[in-house]
């Protein structure tokens, strides 16, 4: 990793806090319609921003998790609203290595150079839209918080969307502490910014020392752990190329990409979901209810 950093001068892709220029988003809330809880959800890699579709611009996985939490709020009479984050979300197929890259990665003499090349030509492309997502999410949270001060937030994201929400929390803590304190729960599914032995509550089959793709391929210490571990669910299955990255998963891309996209299976007639999504969302939902009801 030191060699890779030396070759590329790699630094974290976490976007710096910028002026809060208005991105495309849902309309600002009216003060008289402020809910107790506002959800900000970010769909996963390659999923369409279909706000009028059956997943409401959230993708099936995030829509499912948010729905579970909202069910717990509804049962307690707690009001809520939902903001589907507008941002580009490139396909996980960006991470598929070329034949040339496989040649580099399977030769011990060229392994370091191969990882560096793979980062530049595949991983950077995959993560290019994350900066837009972070900027838009911070704008949305600030906009809502300005009008609806008492409202608390639940953040949820899948794949690139999980990386967006991870980075949003880090930036809010550093630059917008008032908003940061209003985060009541977080759901990170397939987080490419996951650090080994995260303090977040872990769900799924991945090992505790698993790490995300960006964390693995950039200098040690570049990516902080989640800043709200007591109310953050980290969801990752063993073999997931994004949140449980290693060289073997690159070389067996089809299998590891399949793990990453297997948390739900949808057809024109309906969807099935892995139980881990409901389990994690139930845990976060309990935390949110406790926060709202005191």
The DSSP 8-state label assigned to residue 119 in this structure reads: I
Q: How far apart are CA 271 and CA 263, in angstroms?
A: 10
64 found inside a domain: yes
Kindly report the number of other CB atoms within 10 A of residue 11's CB atom. 10
What is residue 15's predicted lDDT score, i.e. its pLDDT?
30
Q: Which residues 6+ apart lie within 8 Å of 252 measured at CB?
A: none
CA-wise closest residue to 129 among 154, 97, 96, 92: 92
> What is the crossing angle of helices 160-175 and 130-147, to 10°?
50
What is residue 52's predicted lDDT score, i.e. its pLDDT?
87
What is residue 133's predicted lDDT score, i.e. its pLDDT?
94
What is residue 129's predicted lDDT score, i.e. its pLDDT?
84
What is residue 220's predicted lDDT score, i.e. its pLDDT?
60
Encode the chain (294 residues) as per-residue pLDDT tens digits. 444 444 343 333 333 323 333 334 444 555 557 999 999 999 998 899 988 899 999 999 999 999 999 999 999 999 999 999 999 888 888 889 999 999 999 999 999 999 889 889 988 888 888 999 999 999 999 999 999 999 999 999 999 999 999 999 999 999 999 999 999 999 999 999 999 999 999 999 999 999 999 999 887 667 899 999 999 999 999 999 999 999 898 899 999 999 999 999 999 889 999 999 999 999 999 999 999 998
What is residue 12's predicted lDDT score, i.e. its pLDDT?
32
What is residue 149's predicted lDDT score, i.e. its pLDDT?
92
Residue 187, beta-bridge partner list: 156, 233
Judge whether 165 and 156 are in contact, CB under 8 Å: yes
1 found inside a domain: no
Residue 200 φ then ψ, to 5°: -65, 160
97 found inside a domain: no
What angle is formed at CA 216 by the lines to CA 212 and CA 222, rounded to 5 degrees? 95
- Residues of the domain holding 210: 38-91+130-293
What is residue 27's predicted lDDT score, i.e. its pLDDT?
47
55 found inside a domain: yes
Q: How far apart are CA 28 and CA 22, in angstroms?
A: 11
Q: How far apart are CA 197 and CA 39, in angstroms?
A: 27
What is residue 123's predicted lDDT score, i.e. its pLDDT?
85
What is residue 29's predicted lDDT score, i.e. its pLDDT?
56
Count of domains for the chain: 1
Judge whether 200 and 212 are in contact, CB under 8 Å: no
Residue 41, beta-bridge partner list: 84, 156
120 found inside a domain: no
What is residue 33's predicted lDDT score, i.e. its pLDDT?
78
Judge whether 56 and 47 are in contact, CB under 8 Å: no
What is residue 23's predicted lDDT score, i.e. its pLDDT?
36
23 found inside a domain: no
The H or E element containing residue 80 is strand 80-84
Sign, CA torsion 273/275/280/282: positive
Return the SS3 of 160: helix
Burial class (CB in 10 A: 0-12, 13-18, 19+), 251: middle
116 found inside a domain: no
Q: Which domain CATH number covers 280?
A: 3.40.50.1820
175 found inside a domain: yes
Exposure string (b/e) for 102-132, b if CB count within 10 Å is 16 or more? eebbeeeeeebebbbbbbeebbbebbebbbb
Judge whether 198 and 223 are in contact, CB under 8 Å: no
């Amino acid at each position: 990793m030191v060699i890779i950093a030396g070759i590329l001068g790699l630094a974290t892709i976490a976007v710096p806090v910028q002026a809060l220029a208005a991105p495309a988003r849902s309309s600002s809330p009216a003060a008289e319609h402020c809910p107790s809880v506002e959800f900000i959800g970010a769909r996963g890699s390659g999923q369409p921003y279909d706000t009028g579709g059956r997943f409401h611009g959230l993708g099936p996985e995030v829509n499912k998790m948010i729905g579970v939490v909202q069910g717990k709020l509804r049962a307690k009479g707690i009001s809520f609203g939902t903001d589907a984050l507008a941002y580009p979300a490139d396909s996980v197929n960006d991470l598929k290595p070329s034949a040339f890259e496989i040649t580099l990665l399977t030769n011990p003499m060229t392994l370091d150079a191969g990882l560096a090349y793979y980062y530049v030509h595949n991983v950077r492309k995959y993560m290019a839209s994350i900066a837009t997502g972070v900027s838009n999410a911070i704008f949305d949270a600030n906009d809502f918080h300005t009008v609806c001060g008492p409202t608390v937030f639940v953040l949820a994201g899948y794949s690139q969307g999980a990386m967006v929400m991870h980075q949003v929390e880090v930036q809010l803590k550093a630059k917008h502490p008032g908003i940061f304190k209003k985060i009541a729960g977080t759901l990170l599914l397939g987080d490419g910014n996951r650090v080994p032995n995260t303090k977040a509550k872990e769900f799924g089959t991945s090992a505790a020392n698993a790490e995300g793709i960006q964390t693995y391929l950039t200098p040690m210490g570049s990516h902080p752990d989640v800043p709200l571990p007591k109310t953050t669910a980290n969801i990752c299955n063993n073999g997931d190329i994004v949140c449980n990255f290693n060289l073997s998963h690159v070389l067996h891309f089809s299998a590891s990409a399949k793990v990453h996209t297997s948390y739900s299976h949808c057809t024109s007639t309906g969807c099935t979901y892995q139980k881990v999504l409901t389990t994690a969302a139930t845990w976060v939902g309990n935390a949110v209810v406790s926060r709202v009801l005191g």
